[in-house]
Amino acid sequence: MEEQDYLLIDNFFDGLLSETARQEVLQRVDKEPTFAAAFATTQKMQEWLRREPRRKVFEQTTAALGQSFFTEEKEENLATKSVKTIPVNNPVMGSRPGGLMKRGNIWAIAAAIALLVAAVWFVMRPQPPLYQQFALHTPPQFTERSGAFTAATTAETSFKKGDYATALTALQQLAQQRPDDPTVAFYSGVCQLELQQTNAARAVFTTLANGVSVWREEAQWYVALTYLRENDLEKCKQVLGTIQPDAERYKSAVRLLKKL
């Protein structure tokens, strides 16, 4: 493979070749194994690059979900199940006489002690405030690339970094170009909530909750979060009680109500 072969392949993927030249490249892929291998490698590189922005959003989403779903509380709620032991290194476990020291009883006692220790540890450990436990925000993703590009990118990147002040400024600029976009409104509300501008945030979420956009149910949950942020637990409970069982946030609402 010569350097101009790699250049040809790169130009192919950059869309810089004429149709005739493109067809010549594809013919070489069919006929020349070495050229085909280099083509395949470059194709994989291009695909990886193309997916990278989406992968970053995905990783943020799953990181937040992981924090929410794999908690000590979830461990606490696990029921004890019967288990089958399969030794990895074939340890010798001789049979024992009957009575209290049977193998099954030893495991049951050990499991009970472990559960007791875990329960004591769980109760004694310091808990983060309720708001921090439940205010887990999925980062925004604005896909349009037009004149609103810069504000959208600034809003996305600042939000992901937790710089809600900069994100809010960018979202307000974006709102001038997209005054009816409920996604822009929703994330403006989230930024205001994080900046403790709870009245303004609640106004945004209440409008969305009373509307017909895809954010309607989520906004209802966030109205509850605004009261939680203010430590107005009674109003928070009232709003949580209005979340319907078929709503996506219903389980979160039930969990939060138990803690209030």
Residues lying near another protein in the complex (CB under 8 A): 3, 6-7, 10, 14, 16, 38, 41-42, 44-45, 47-55, 57-59, 61-63, 65-72, 74-75, 78, 81-89, 91, 138, 141, 145, 153, 248, 251
CB of 87 to another protein, least distance (A): 5
CB of 101 to another protein, least distance (A): 19
Which token pair is 92?
């010798």
CB of 231 to another protein, least distance (A): 27
DSSP state of 150: H
> Phi/psi of residue 88, each to 5°?
-75, -40
Q: Which is nearer to another protein, 233 or 248 (CB)?
A: 248
Determine the Cα–Cα distance for residues 76 and 116; give it in Å rounded to an integer: 11
Q: Which is nearer to another protein, 121 or 231 (CB)?
A: 121
Tokens 């604005």 belong to 142
CB of 173 to another protein, least distance (A): 19
Determine the Cα–Cα distance for residues 142 and 94; give it in Å rounded to an integer: 64
Q: Which is nearer to another protein, 229 or 249 (CB)?
A: 249
Q: Which is nearer to another protein, 68 or 198 (CB)?
A: 68
**Closest to 140 measured CA to CA, from 94, 106, 175:** 175
**Closest to 176 measured CA to CA, from 198, 152, 154:** 152
